[in-house]
Structure 1
Amino acid sequence: MAASVYDCLVIGAGPAGTAAATLLAQAGRRVLIVDKAPFPRFHIGESLIPAANRVLRKMGVWDEVERAGFVRKEGAEFTFGTGEKRVHNRFEDGWVPGLDYTYQVERSQFDRLLLARAREAGCEVLQPAEARTLTQTDTGWQVELDVDGSPRTVEASWLLDAAGRGRWLGRQLSVPTEPLPLHKRFTVYGHFTGVARAEGPEGGNVILTRIPKGWFWMIPLDEERTSVGLVAQHEGERATPERIFDRRVATNPYMRACMAEAKLEDRFRVESDYSFVHQHFAGDRWLMLGDAAGFIDPVFSSGVYLALESADLAATAILKAGNSLGRHARNRYERQVWARMKVMLEMVQMYYDDRSFAVFMHPTDSFRLFSAVNAVVGGNTQMSFGLRWRYLLFLLVCRLNRHLPMVPPVKL
């Protein structure tokens, strides 16, 4: 049987894959999306940041997101486990106008909504379908698929890996990875009912609570359910992940109060050792998007934002290219993706360093520093001169505070 031929084959139907596919289809390309899991499916990464809204609008799906009934997110709160300190980042107070709010999303519904938009734009979808083997040809790629138990061959000029941290294409092409300069951590998370939350707009905030050698997130998903997760360093504890989660809650007053009436809805899930980055994100006819290129850390909720940004950059690169990406185009794509990742990595490193985090938790709006940091928390990684020098000044103060303490230390 002759192979089906496409302009672009996208592996993965998450936000990165559906965004790139939609943008390419809107430009007239014939696109096939392949995903090995049927929808709906559970996925972490439920808290969006406002900078992600731009690509959702460009895809033509923002109005659907607005109508979907997701919890409106107008800010982010940062607390100590002792309950002694709280910093509230309201996005509308940030340096950059137009990043006032976004949404907390249950990914099973959000991902399905984006995939429906991709179909509407003209993309074909095979699901469940797993990419098995890969062969490079003179005109692109030939990929052998397992489509719900049946073999199928497809050909495509371009191959985009948006299949997440499984690193499918990286393994196929033997692209090396590098660990990021972060400690190895694991996360235990689940959906709960009965988690205490504020009334009014603040009830839609994501709350991040620092504890010794880790932190908790709380993300409201609807009126009843909240996603709660623990991120912690490996410490050789001989206990189940559930027991570790319960111990951390019990020993931190703020979390203990929030979870006093909480009940686990389904089951705990666990992920570990997730921080990495590929040495290259692109080749002459292939690109890696989102988590397939690299994953930093769940703090600051940058995953979906970076997925959508990389999808937009990848689609733009393909549409500008001829038959393949030249060296300069590949370097430009990698440089642009890494520039966005680097800003979020700097924020993550600040968060995990106690003395830097102390600066963050004692904000000042002298020189409009807090407004500038607020904009970065909202995902503004492409900075104007006025925002950039303030952000760099904030990082400088964080570094100085490690050696010459200027603000009180954190009390976790």
Structure 2
Amino acid sequence: MNALIIGAGPAGTSCAIQLLKAGIEVSILDKQHFPRSAPGETLHPGIEPLLKELDIWKEIEGFSFKRHPGIITEFRDSAKLDLYNQEGSWEGFQFPRDTFDQLLLDQAISLGAKFYSGSKITDVTLSSIGIATVFTNSGSFNASFFIDASGRNAVLPKKLGIRYKQQSTPLFVHFGYVESENTHSFSTPRMIWDADGWIWVSRISEKLISWNRLYPFNQKIAKNWLPECLQHLKPAGSHKAADVTWRIAENVSRSNYFLIGDAAFTFDPASSKGVLKAVMSGMMCGYLLGQLKLVKSDIKEIHAHYNTWMNDWFSNDLANMKNMYAEKGFPI
């Protein structure tokens, strides 16, 4: 029994680690070379026990990741610190994603995963039981199961014609970075709501602050745009944009494929659970396929469980997101 994982971000590598622990052979493809930069540098503290389960907690502790007790929310000229718990002892993480992603990938490789970087999928062929072969510029790959962890690129859904159910107006988040020597500024992440949408600002390293901007009804910003609170600082590279329209795949798993992370469903960063969702869905997929290998479950039961679990999660977050935006005056 073996698995091919498309994408070496937190979803793909978390799934790989879980599969390898269950004795399942794993190959990982990624079109990029690592280490690579990626958005999503804030982690909910609920990820800590998962990092311990993935056996990378010691490595995490070895890096000077920024920690924060909660999120400062600014709305209508008022600011409030929302603690993760009342004592302020439960702390989230701020980190450069290239470092975090590399730690997970290194762990997967140390357990036996074969990693193919710079691999672009050119074709996918089907058989009577599902996907037969994935063709790339690195060669062709056959597997018992194919797991899409390619994020919003949704490589397999595009190749297989899997549709997504859109649950919001089209949404695009713009993001970038600025340099700052003041290590105390924005050490606690800020969610700033204004008349046009929201701005997220957080420090991810000693010299780097990240920002995100979302306009629910106006998707464009000027090329040199910066949040007002950061306009005195020097940009670090150009800003980028990503499609974060709320959506979920009609089938997050079927036959011999599974969609995990943003390939399964997507919300904008205001959900604050992007990386947590990636890791949890990857681990769940790996766990379920491990049960299949142990003959403790059959594939129909696994698909039923995984689809229900992911759809329930999406529905719950969808209701919370709609309420949050409505409260701020933005019915999505």
Do they fold alike, i.e. is TM over 0.5?
Answer: yes
Q: 2:192 aligns with which of 206, 209, 216?
A: 209
Q: 1:146 aligns with which of 129, 137, 140?
A: 137
Once the 2 structures are TM-superposed, how far is the Cα of residue 325 of structure 1 from its aligned partner? 5.4
Once the 2 structures are TM-superposed, how far is the Cα of residue 196 of structure 1 from its aligned partner? 7.1
Once the 2 structures are TM-superposed, how far is the Cα of residue 40 of structure 1 from its aligned partner? 1.9
Task: Output the CA distance in 2 between the equivalents of 1:178 and 1:47.
Answer: 27
Q: 1:194 aligns with which of 171, 180, 188?
A: 180
The amino acid that maps onto 2:54 is M
Matched with 2:84 is 91
Once the 2 structures are TM-superposed, how far is the Cα of residue 205 of structure 1 from its aligned partner? 2.1
Q: How does 1:342-353 map onto structure 2 within 5 Å?
A: 342-353=315-326
Find the residue that maps to 2:120 and give its secondary structure.
strand
Task: Output the CA distance in 1 between the equivalents of 2:12 and 2:86.
Answer: 32
Q: How does 1:1-150 map onto structure 2 within 5 Å?
A: 7-80=2-75, 84-93=77-86, 100-137=90-127, 141-147=132-138
Matched with 1:300 is 271
The alpha-carbon distance between structure 1 residues 57 and 341, as it changes in their structure 2 partners (threshold 3 A), is farther
The alpha-carbon distance between structure 1 residues 273 and 88, as it changes in their structure 2 partners (threshold 3 A), is closer
The alpha-carbon distance between structure 1 residues 210 and 158, as it changes in their structure 2 partners (threshold 3 A), is same
CA contact (8 A) 1:194 1:261 kept: no
Matched with 2:214 is 231
TM-score of the pair, normalised by structure 2: 0.90
The amino acid that maps onto 2:279 is L
Once the 2 structures are TM-superposed, how far is the Cα of residue 321 of structure 1 from its aligned partner? 2.1
CA contact (8 A) 2:134 2:141 kept: yes
Once the 2 structures are TM-superposed, how far is the Cα of residue 260 of structure 1 from its aligned partner? 4.8
Task: Output the CA distance in 2 between the equivalents of 1:156 and 1:344.
Answer: 33
Q: 2:146 aligns with which of 148, 154, 159?
A: 159
Whether 2:307 is the aligned partner of 1:334: answer: yes
Task: Output the CA distance in 2 between the equivalents of 1:355 and 1:154.
Answer: 48
Matched with 1:272 is 243
Once the 2 structures are TM-superposed, how far is the Cα of residue 314 of structure 1 from its aligned partner? 0.6
Once the 2 structures are TM-superposed, how far is the Cα of residue 236 of structure 1 from its aligned partner? 7.5
Task: Output the CA distance in 2 between the equivalents of 1:160 and 1:272.
Answer: 22
CA contact (8 A) 1:133 1:143 kept: yes
Matched with 2:254 is 283
The alpha-carbon distance between structure 1 residues 153 and 40, as it changes in their structure 2 partners (threshold 3 A), is same
The amino acid that maps onto 1:17 is G
Task: Output the CA distance in 1 between the equivalents of 2:94 and 2:84.
Answer: 14
CA contact (8 A) 2:244 2:266 kept: no
CA contact (8 A) 1:193 1:263 kept: yes
The amino acid that maps onto 2:261 is G
Runs of 4 or more off by more than 6 Å in structure 1? Answer: none
Q: How does 1:237-252 map onto structure 2 within 5 Å?
A: 240-242=221-223, 245-246=225-226, 249=227
Query: How many percent identity over aligned positions?
Result: 23
Range with bigger deviation, 274-283 or 346-355? 346-355
Matched with 1:376 is none
Q: How does 1:301-316 map onto structure 2 within 5 Å?
A: 301-316=272-287
The amino acid that maps onto 2:174 is V
Find the residue that maps to 2:284 and give its secondary structure.
helix
Matched with 2:292 is 321
> Deviation digits for residues 120-144 of structure 1, max 9, x if unmatched?
1111101111222222346763221
Task: Output the CA distance in 2 between the equivalents of 1:295 and 1:355.
Answer: 21
CA RMSD of aligned residues (A): 2.6
Task: Output the CA distance in 2 between the equivalents of 1:295 and 1:273.
Answer: 6
CA contact (8 A) 1:350 1:356 kept: no
The alpha-carbon distance between structure 1 residues 28 and 198, as it changes in their structure 2 partners (threshold 3 A), is same
Query: 5+ residue gaps in structure 2?
Result: none
Find the residue that maps to 1:89 and give its secondary structure.
strand
Once the 2 structures are TM-superposed, how far is the Cα of residue 163 of structure 1 from its aligned partner? 0.6
Range with bigger deviation, 111-120 or 268-277? 268-277
The amino acid that maps onto 2:222 is P
- Normalized per residue, which structure has more strand? 2
Task: Output the CA distance in 2 between the equivalents of 1:213 and 1:235.
Answer: 8
Task: Output the CA distance in 2 between the equivalents of 1:217 and 1:85.
Answer: 16
Once the 2 structures are TM-superposed, how far is the Cα of residue 198 of structure 1 from its aligned partner? 5.0
CA contact (8 A) 1:77 1:89 kept: yes
Task: Output the CA distance in 1 between the equivalents of 2:230 and 2:181.
Answer: 5
